[in-house]
Amino acid sequence: MSDAALRRLNLRATLLAILGAGALLAVIFGPAVFDRFTINVLTRSMIYAMLAVTVDLLWGFTGVLTFGQAAFFGLGAYATAMVLTHIGASPALMVLAFVLAFLVPLLVGLIVGWLSFGYKATPLYATVISLVVPIVITQLAFSGGHWTGSSSGLVGYGTLPLSLKGYFRLSGICLLIVATAAFIFVRSDAGKILVAIRDNEARCAYLGLNPERIKILLTTVLAGVAGIAGFLFANATGVVAPENTGFVFGTELVIWTALGGRGTIIGPIFGTIGIDYLSATLSGELPFLWNLIIGALFVIMIILLPNGLAALVDRFLPGGKRSQASGAAAIFGNEAASAEGSFKEKPLLQVKDLSKSYGSLNVLKGLDLDVRPGELVSLVGPNGAGKTTVMRCLSDGTEMTGGTIVMADRNVAGLTPNEIVALGVGRKFQVASVFDSLSVADCLRLARAKRLSPSPLRRSSELDLPPAAADILKLTGLDRLLDQPVSLLSHGMKQSLELAMVVTLEPRLILLDEPTAGLTKTERTTIGNILQKLTRELGLAIILVEHDLDFVRQISSRIVVLHQGRLVLDGTVEDVINSDVVKSVYSGGAHV
Amino acid sequence: MIILLDIITTAAILFIVAAGLLAIFGVLKIINFAHGAWLTVGGYCTVVTTAWGISPWFALPFAFIVGAALGALTELFIVRPLYRRPLDAILATWGLSIVIGQLITLWFGRDMQMVPNLLSGTIEFFGVSYSVYRLFTVVAALVIGLAFAFLLDGTRLGLSARAVIMNETLARALGIDTAKVRLATFMIGTGLAGLAGVLLTPLTSVDPNMGVGWLIGAFMLVMVAGSSFGSLALACLVFGGAQVLVSTFVSPIFGSITVALLCALVLRVSPKGFARE
């Protein structure tokens, strides 16, 4: 990284440090300056800002639009108020209230997460669930009678022995803790996974990560955080009502986050405090006009400036766009286990009678195929022959409709992509599938995340790669672009990067779907050499789908011909190239 | 008998309310979260016709026109830039509904408005006396459903719309002006929402927030129904029926969340809901 870039980053870090220190001073000395009304309003705003940070982690960073944080907040607030109202407010019970305010939303969050994120569930479904949850909780609050105070809520219970100023400081410190924790997490290696899921969830799964489980975990933990915010709110305001848990409040949280700037931590905090404070001060004078302005601003913002005000500020701040990409990365080629010689004789992959149909349409019919370590098997055939479908079935056990696939002695039926990756299968897609918002180094680090669990605190400056992957980087020149955001890479570079990511997984079998499509002649030769090295020297098995028969002839050890969903030929390069069947298949007159 | 009538009329009302949302979601794959605001606009069209001293029946075409006209503006300026960002479209239309709600409040005040009933009284029906208006909603739902069946199967617009539903890229390649189809669909959807707002006036109070309560139920039903009016009718019958039964035998408060809860569970088990594809 250049000195100038380093200086820009340093300036940014200094600015952040100043901001943090300023916030701390404001929290400590603010109550001495502000009047009663301002202290009251800001206390509430800061609690809401904690919620906005959780909304942002889910929506801005991970891409899950949620209205449900309001429900978890309400659950925490109601749990607190119910303990304090119906049991009592002794110090021990206060601790109980706190624990319940954390655990109840945590548990509900776990259930909601499990409901929202099944394998192959659409992103819209999570949003649907996040709408239903606050509605259900609100109705429960309404129907709770004496227990929840119905429509008037709970009021007049004993709270923490703190003054107005004390609550202001407590909320401020909690907000600072939440913000700092979130800030450290999203910049850490583990935090990058969130952005990776937002960018390209399928790729995450095919890197062996489990996006569903990560999202469930995130939902659960953030539900607990929202519950703690609810505990604070119940104490600080002394009243809990159904609207604190409702879907409209959930939408407000999203609006504040959006206006402040999704995908940043500071944006939603300022958005929430600013808008909530202004609402409180202005709504007396222009009650309906104020909401009208907020609504209109929100619409305009979503359309024209989807990343909120923070993006606007970011444009004028030094550092700018580059901040997403992490620091210089030194590559370490580690000595990883490579060829497993003893396996040579035994097939790594055994496919028997594989079939796949969509309703009455049979795309694959009774396919048999064995692949041994060290083989480079090319799958050829005209368009629609079922080549990509074979790849899909091999990498996702939920796809096939008949037959068996055994990979490394395990039947893969019903396994999800990340479980198949764990068996040693890497897949490269036809269209380069990488993470556009991350840097090259981050992408490769994510490919490593399955093996070296990434730290949730630290951001590593090193890149620990298997030698084969490091070779690919050197051969393609990607090693000089490690800090580049992926979105700036050329098409060919993205293809190479994806290949490097797949090799980084240290798989025993690699599935490549047209890895050379759209590449130049030189790039093609480079990739060909790499593939040959992977199979001949390192003993990996490769299945390659390819249209370019010259390329196939040069590098394959075996060729398999597919036609109309059937395997019509399986043999050495010479066998297949000289066969009449292939000629007739490609000239279109095949009768099989 | 009363319960049976309740189930059928509840299903009819849900169908009327959800139809406009489904028309838009089915073709555009966009969720119009301002749907509730259009219901409100429709309700206030009745207020306007009442102020003009004409029959509330004229509010029906009036609300359709107002709804469609506002829909055209919305499609052009808000929804069109967001077709590639469906989640953002939900948010932008929700923001729009806030704006519409506040404009109505500024104009008409936040109080409940009194409007004349479209139909009043009860009728003897198989030995029980039942609200004429609720029975009329069944007729209205059938008319809307049949009109859609005709529109989709019998007109050029319907043919284009079906092409866009199946494969938009191909439809465009075949020379269908997909932008025009989208605009027309959005206008029909919002026009219908306005119409539904008028039809709701005898059943609920007319105030600036009257539509919001109906939004989530309609939204969930549309999620389950996918893009077919047939499956929407089925969903309305099944979940509306469940709502009536739960409200009658368990508690009205749980009844009000039955639709949302059941739809969410159905979608978890079968992500495509009742849609057959």
Task: Name all domains of chain A by residue range, CATH numbers in brackets.
Answer: 36-246 (no CATH), 341-424+507-519+539-592 (3.40.50.300)
Say which of B82, B91, B216 has its CB closest to residue A258.
B91
> What integer pLDDT is reported at residue A321 of this predicted model?
42
Continuous H helices in chain B: 2-28, 35-52, 59-74, 86-108, 132-154, 156-166, 168-173, 178-200, 212-225, 229-249, 252-269
CB contact at 8 A, A268 and A262: yes
Mean pLDDT of all residues belonging to chain B: 88
| Chain B positions in Cβ-Cβ contact with residue A132 (cut-off 8 Å) | 216, 220, 257, 260-261, 263-264
pLDDT at B259: 87
Does residue B128 register a pLDDT over 70?
yes
Q: What is the CATH number of domain B2-269?
A: 1.10.3470
Q: What span, in angstroms and rounded, lies between the C-alpha atoms of A279 and A294?
A: 9
Q: How confident is the model at residue A235 (pLDDT cuts 50, 70, 90)?
A: very high
Per-residue confidence (pLDDT) for residue B114, from 0 to 100 = 82
Residue A339: pLDDT band with limits 50, 70, 90:
very low
This model's pTM is above 0.90: no
Chain A residues inside the 8 Å CB shell of B261: 132, 136
* More confident: A149 or A323: A149
For residue A591, pLDDT over 80 is answered with no
Give the per-residue pLDDT at A581.
76
Span A244-248, average pLDDT? 90
Q: Contact A132/B256, CB-based, under 8 Å?
A: no
Contact residues of B toward A, CB < 8 A: 31, 78, 81-82, 85-88, 90-92, 94-99, 101-103, 105-106, 110, 212, 216, 219-220, 223, 251, 253-254, 256-257, 260-261, 263-264, 267-268, 271
Residues of chain A with C-beta less than 8 angstroms from the C-beta of B108: none
Residue among A120, A140, A303 with most chain B CBs within 10 A, to mutate: A303
Contact: A291, B102; criterion CB under 8 Å: yes
For B24-34, the pLDDT digits (tens) are: 998 888 899 99
Identity of the residue in A118, A288, A303 whose CB atom sits nearest the CB atom of B81: A303
pLDDT at A322 over 70: no
For chain B, which residues make up each domain, given as ranges? 2-269
A contacts of B110 (beta carbons < 8 Å)? 288
Is A323's pLDDT higher than 60?
A: no
- pLDDT at residue B268 greater than cutoff 70: yes
Q: Write the DSSP string, A129-185.
A: HHHHHHHHHHHHHHHTTTTTTGGG-EES----S--HHHHHHHHHHHHHHHHHHHHHH
Chain B residues inside the 8 Å CB shell of A254: 91
Report the first-to-last Cα separation within chain B, whole angstroms: 36
Q: Three-state SS for A188?
A: coil
Residues 6+ apart with CB under 8 A from B242: B258, B259, B262
Beta carbons of A135 and B257 less than 8 Å apart = yes
* Average pLDDT score over residue span A368-393: 88
Determine the pLDDT at residue A342.
Answer: 44
CA A65 – CA A55 distance, rounded (Å): 8
* Triad B13, B17, B21: Cα angle to 5°: 150
Q: Which tokens go with A368?
A: 């048999």
Q: Does pLDDT of A100 surpass 90?
A: yes
Give residue A168's Cα distance to chain centre: 34
pLDDT in tens, A516-571: 777 888 888 888 888 888 888 888 899 999 888 888 888 888 899 888 888 888 88
pLDDT the model gives residue A53: 96
pLDDT the model gives residue A59: 94
Residue B241 or residue A381, greater confidence: B241
pLDDT in tens, A154-181: 998 988 889 999 999 999 999 999 999 9
Mean predicted confidence (pLDDT) in A110-131: 87
Does A288 touch chain B if contact means CB atoms closer than 8 Å?
Answer: yes
Q: Which two tokens stand for residue B45?
A: 């069209």
- Which range among A42-51, A247-256, A382-391 shows the weakest confidence by mean pLDDT? A382-391
pLDDT for position B187? 95
If residue A509 lies in a helix (H) or strand (E), which one and from where to where? strand A509-513
The answer to whether A132 contacts chain B (CB < 8 Å) is yes
A357: distance to nearest CA of chain B, Å? 15
Q: A38, A41, A116: which is closest to A71 by C-alpha?
A: A116
Distance separating alpha carbons of residues A229 and A51, to the nearest angstrom: 7
| Segment A404-422, tens digit of pLDDT | 898 888 888 888 888 999 8
